[in-house]
């Protein structure tokens, strides 16, 4: 444990990556929690948020632990890398999620809505956090313990910051691209060949994918805006 703590590359950098991707990717989940509870009486809103968030945290930890175990199998990291790269692009290019989440008028239904929505929307978090943990359960637990409460209790502030400073979204997307590159070069099926023939790829691919995520996301955004403008002019 002490060796892990004393190594920035083995502990502190992955820990910051876990916290970073969780904060950036959990903004929409926070919106879902608020939307699901908004129709409840004020006294029950806090209960729905606490119980729904608590159950969602347990579910997410179980899913992430499972993902960490699966990522040790050959080729799964390569698949996860592609998914994570696409998630990073969608982070820049996506419309607001959560708009179609219905509010519930009773506590049990609200908690159920929070759980189902969080399960669907947490798949990106699970893949990203599992990748950043690099197989370390200690890192995973510490990272989740720090970042999930931060997201839940600071959700409103985080969302306002992202609205005010869109660069946060771009940085988060670049981080996902970087982590996807790290996943690809550490896949058990690819790493031996990379170590033997192209060791520089360990640094080159994560940086290249971080840049590529941002460029691709921005280009798709511009294309979407260009497609929307003519249709608005016709109206």
Q: Is residue 228 part of a domain?
A: no
In a domain, 126, yes or no: yes
Domain total in the chain: 1
More confident residue, 131 or 157: 131
Mean pLDDT computed over 146-161: 63
Q: Supply the pLDDT for residue 98.
A: 46
Structural domain span for residue 68: 2-220
227 falls within a domain: no
* 47 occurs within a structural domain: yes
Q: What is the pLDDT of residues 99-152, one digit of tens each?
A: 444 555 677 877 777 777 666 556 667 777 777 777 777 777 777 777 666 666
Kindly state whether residue 230 falls inside one of the protein's structural domains. Answer: no
166 lies in some domain: yes
Q: Which residue has the higher pLDDT, 41 or 99?
A: 41
The reply to whether the predicted model has a pTM over 0.85 is: no
234 lies in a domain? no
> Which carries the bigger pLDDT value, residue 9 or residue 76?
76
Contact 92, 225 (CB under 8 A): no
Kindly report which listed range (85-94, 128-137, 182-191) carries the lowest average pLDDT score: 128-137
More confident residue, 199 or 37: 199
Is 66 within the bounds of a domain?
A: yes
């Amino acid at each position: 444990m002490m060796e892990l703590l004393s190594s920035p590359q083995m502990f502190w950098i992955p820990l910051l990556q876990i916290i970073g991707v969780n904060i950036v990717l959990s903004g929409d989940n926070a919106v879902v929690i608020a939307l699901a509870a908004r129709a409840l009486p004020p006294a029950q809103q806090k209960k729905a948020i606490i119980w729904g968030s608590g159950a969602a945290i347990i579910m997410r930890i179980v899913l992430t632990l499972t993902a960490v175990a699966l990522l040790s199998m050959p080729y799964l990291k390569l698949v996860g890398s592609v998914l994570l790269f696409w998630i990073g692009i969608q982070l820049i290019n996506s419309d607001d999620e959560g708009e179609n989440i219905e509010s519930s008028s009773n506590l049990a239904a609200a908690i159920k809505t929070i759980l189902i929505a969080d399960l669907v929307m947490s798949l990106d978090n699970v893949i990203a956090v599992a990748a950043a943990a690099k197989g370390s359960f200690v890192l995973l637990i510490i990272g989740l313990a720090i970042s999930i409460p931060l997201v839940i209790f600071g959700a409103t502030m985080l969302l306002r910051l992202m609205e005010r400073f869109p660069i946060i979204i771009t940085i988060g997307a670049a981080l996902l691209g970087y982590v996807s590159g790290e996943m690809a070069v550490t896949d058990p099926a690819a790493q031996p060949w990379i170590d033997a023939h192209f060791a520089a790829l360990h640094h080159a691919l994560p940086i290249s994918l971080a840049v590529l995520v941002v460029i691709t996301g921005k280009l798709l955004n511009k294309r979407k805006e260009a497609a929307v403008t003519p249709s608005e002019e016709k109206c």
